[in-house]
């Protein structure tokens, strides 16, 4: 089969980690007789520099004409002082919206091999930690009206519509059905009207999934529970802003942020895949970034957008094997391990495929 992949290397370490990941994909292609056609497109800071916009129309068009999108990372201090709608982040939000990627799946997994770098005490994380944050990605305060009254005041509107909540809630329950059948809805229904509205629709959707256990937490409580009792969670479903905060917190408690992938899905099979971590401009171009989160994002892409389950499993197994052989990039290095750079980590994983 022939698959069209739009590739957005982006800024900072983006080109390096994407480079390592497409090599892994090429090897999969060779082994399984698929061909992956990459089209590189611009977004974020590099697009601002080249085309004076963080999201050229061509990028949107090519992504839409592809089977899936692989993204490195966007942004950096160079572009931080531009006005809001001209920043790299505007490109990221723009592409999520333009491609209708309303469901952001962010698994937080503790890798056995990296337990040493987990900030929580062993008795809290136990043997395993595996939760999934399902974050609404194209609505809420990220895309609400904004306004400013000169120097006097400024505001953003946190709004959700019924169809927006229905589809993300459904997605969360569907995912829970394939996992441990537990959904935790996180909102701030004791204060926000939009949260009460959101919760009422989650309750409605829950009726179609009687096998799934549903509970509700206020966002402040959820931020606490992630630290003291993360094992209670299977699937967390929440709004764009709360999901931004909680998924970062969740990834951090695993101690594996350099390892965690994400998928942003629309209806149907189409999706965009990217590591959870950022563009890390301070270490860009030095062959030290950890490519594993991006490589596992490629595995997620094979699984969710291309239906290539066996291929996805193989990549994940190769990553684990490479870790168990002791290879580590600097961010996950601990004494006694073998320190490798971005390129070598990619090669070791390819050898283990």
What residues are designated binding site for substrate?
96, 106, 135, 220
Regarding 106 and contact with a second copy (CB under 8 A), the answer is: no
d(CA 117, CA 5): 34
Segment contacting a second copy (CB under 8 A): 100-108, 120-128, 279-287, 317-325? 120-128
The least distance separating a second copy from the CB of residue 315, rounded to whole angstroms, comes to 26
Instruction: Label residues 90-114 b or e (16+ Cβ within 10 Å = b).
Output: bbbbbbbbbbbbbbbbbbbbbbebb
Binding test (CB under 8 A) with a second copy, winner from 162, 285, 310, 317: 162
Q: Which residue is catalytic, options 188, 234, 273, 327?
A: 188
Regarding 194 and contact with a second copy (CB under 8 A), the answer is: yes
Contact 205, 134 (CB under 8 A): no
Strands ordered across the beta sheet of 2-10: 35-40, 2-10, 68-73, 271-275, 261-265, 103-109, 130-136, 235-238, 182-187, 213-218
d(CA 193, CA 8): 38
Regarding 191 and contact with ligand IPM (CB under 6 A), the answer is: yes
The least distance separating ligand IPM from the CB of residue 334, rounded to whole angstroms, comes to 27
d(CA 327, CA 342): 11
Positions at the binding site for Mg(2+) = 220, 244, 248
By CB atoms closer than 10 A (0-12, 13-18, 19+), residue 179 is middle
The listed partner (a second copy, ligand IPM, none) that binds 162, CB under 5 to 8 Å by sort, is a second copy
The least distance separating ligand IPM from the CB of residue 197, rounded to whole angstroms, comes to 17
3-state SS, residue 275: strand
Structure token digits, residue 201: 């629709």
Residues that bind ligand IPM (CB under 6 A): 75, 89, 92, 190-191, 220, 244
Residues that bind a second copy (CB under 8 A): 75, 84, 87, 89, 93, 118-121, 124, 141-142, 144, 146-148, 151-162, 188, 190-194, 196-198, 219-221, 223-224, 226-228, 241, 244-249, 251-253, 257
């Amino acid at each position: 089969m022939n698959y069209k992949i739009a590739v957005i290397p982006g800024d900072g370490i983006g080109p390096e980690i994407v480079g390592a990941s497409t090599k892994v994909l090429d090897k999969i292609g060779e082994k399984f007789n698929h061909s992956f056609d990459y089209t590189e497109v611009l977004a974020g800071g590099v697009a601002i520099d080249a085309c004076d916009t963080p999201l050229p129309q061509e990028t949107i068009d090519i992504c839409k004409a592809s089977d899936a999108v692989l993204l490195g990372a966007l942004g950096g201090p160079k572009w931080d002082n531009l006005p809001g709608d001209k920043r790299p982040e505007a490109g990221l939000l723009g592409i999520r919206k333009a491609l209708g990627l309303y469901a952001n799946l962010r698994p937080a997994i503790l890798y056995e091999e990296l337990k040493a770098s987990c900030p929580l005490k062993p008795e809290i994380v136990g043997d395993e930690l595996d939760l999934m944050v399902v974050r609404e990605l194209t609505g809420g305060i990220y895309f609400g009206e904004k306004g400013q009254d000169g120097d006097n005041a400024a505001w953003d509107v946190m709004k959700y519509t019924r169809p927006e909540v229905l589809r993300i809630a459904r997605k969360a329950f569907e995912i829970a059905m394939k996992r441990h059948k537990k959904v935790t809805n996180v909102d701030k229904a004791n204060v926000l009207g939009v949260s009460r509205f959101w919760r009422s629709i989650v309750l409605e959707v829950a009726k179609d999934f009687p096998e799934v256990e549903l509970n509700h937490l206020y966002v402040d409580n959820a931020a606490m529970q992630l630290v003291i009792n993360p094992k209670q969670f299977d699937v967390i479903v929440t709004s764009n802003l709360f999901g931004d905060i909680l998924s970062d917190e969740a990834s951090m408690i695993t101690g594996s942020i350099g390892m965690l992938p994400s998928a942003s899905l629309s209806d149907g099979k189409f999706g965009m895949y990217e590591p959870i971590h950022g563009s890390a401009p301070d270490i860009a171009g030095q062959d030290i970034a950890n490519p594993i989160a991006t490589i596992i994002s490629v595995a997620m892409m094979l699984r969710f957008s291309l239906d290539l389950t066996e291929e996805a499993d193989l990549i994940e197994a190769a990553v684990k094997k490479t870790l168990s052989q002791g290879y580590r990039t600097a961010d996950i290095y601990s004494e006694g391990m073998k320190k490798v750079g971005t390129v070598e980590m990619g090669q070791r994983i390819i050898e283990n495929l």
